[in-house]
């Protein structure tokens, strides 16, 4: 397999993290923002939706979208609950991550982190994203208070997908993570998983 991966992106990182946790071999092709590698991958039709990550299978099929790739890689593993209700709960958190969480946590970080996006970081926009992001983090905090994982009694794809942008929310996004002790403990649990790989690895 070959993963077209944006090194700085949480969406790409979550796939690299699951591959590491599963011990799966995969060629990594870096396609960072504003690089020739990204433009080449687009021109060659390797990025069906125009963005990374994309997993290229051995038969040539291309799988775009980070959480879809997680579901494919996680099939049959301990990261996907066997119980259909728990599996639906897992998917619910994964849908919420893309629909709500990413749109605040990742977007605010991107406006601060990527030079070509800083012009969009108006004080009003940044304040709005800060408030909404803290509200989304509080949803996670409430869920994780008194429990180890987001779904059931074991780590699942829900934890992997939400870890990616949450673990850099303070450093990159400027969110006040001291307000969320249950999230902090959960981040430590994910980082302690056998095979864990950090964002910069």
pLDDT digit string, tens, across residues 150-168: 999 999 999 999 999 999 9
Average pLDDT over residues 22-45: 90
Q: Give the largest CA-CA distance in the chain.
A: 49
Q: What's the whole-number mean pLDDT along residues 93-121?
A: 93
pLDDT tens-place string over residues 49-78: 999 999 999 999 999 999 999 999 999 999
pLDDT, position 152: 96
Name the region of 72 (left: φ>0; alpha: ψ -120 to 50; beta: rest).
Answer: alpha
Q: How far apart are the C-alpha atoms of 33 and 140, rounded to whole Å?
A: 29
Cβ atoms 161, 93 nearer than 8 A? yes
Residue 162 has a pLDDT of: 98
Asked if pLDDT for residue 90 goes beyond 70, the answer is yes
Q: Mean of the pLDDT values across residues 170-185?
A: 98
What was the pLDDT predicted at 201? 64
Contacts 24+ apart (CB under 8 A), 33-39: 33/6, 33/8, 33/114, 33/116, 34/116, 38/6
φ, ψ dihedrals at 151, nearest 5°:
-130, 125
92-120 average pLDDT score: 94
Q: How confident is the model at residue 96 (pLDDT cuts 50, 70, 90)?
A: very high
Going along the chain from its start, the domains and CATH numbers come out as: 2-74 (3.40.30.10), 84-191 (1.20.1050.10)
What is the pTM assigned to this prediction?
A: 0.94
Q: Taking 80 as the threshold, does the pLDDT of residue 33 lie above it?
A: no
**pLDDT averaged over every residue in the chain:** 95
Which pLDDT belongs to residue 48?
A: 94
Percent of the chain with pLDDT over 70: 100
- Residues listed for the chain: 201
Q: Are 104 and 94 in contact (CB under 8 A)?
A: no
The pLDDT, as a whole number, for residue 118 is 84
Residue 47, pLDDT score: 93
């Amino acid at each position: 397999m070959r993963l077209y991966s944006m090194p700085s992106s949480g969406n790409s990182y979550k796939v690299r993290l699951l591959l590491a946790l599963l011990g799966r071999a995969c060629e990594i092709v870096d396609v960072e923002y504003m690089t020739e590698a990204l433009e080449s991958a687009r021109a060659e039709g390797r990025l069906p939706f125009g963005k990374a990550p994309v997993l290229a299978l051995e038969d040539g099929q291309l799988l775009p979208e980070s959480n879809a790739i997680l579901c494919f890689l996680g099939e049959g593993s301990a990261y996907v609950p066997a119980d259909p209700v728990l599996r639906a709960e897992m998917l619910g958190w994964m849908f919420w991550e893309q629909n709500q969480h990413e749109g605040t946590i990742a977007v605010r970080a991107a406006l601060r982190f990527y030079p070509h996006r800083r012009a969009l970081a108006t004080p009003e926009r940044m304040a709005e994203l800060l408030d909404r992001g803290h509200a989304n983090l509080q949803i996670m905090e409430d869920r994780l208070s008194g429990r180890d994982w987001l779904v059931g009694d074991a780590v699942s794809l829900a934890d992997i997908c939400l870890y990616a942008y949450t673990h850099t929310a303070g450093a990159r996004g400027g969110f006040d993570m001291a307000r969320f002790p249950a999230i902090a403990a959960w981040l430590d649990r994910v980082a302690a998983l056998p095979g864990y790989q950090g964002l910069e690895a």
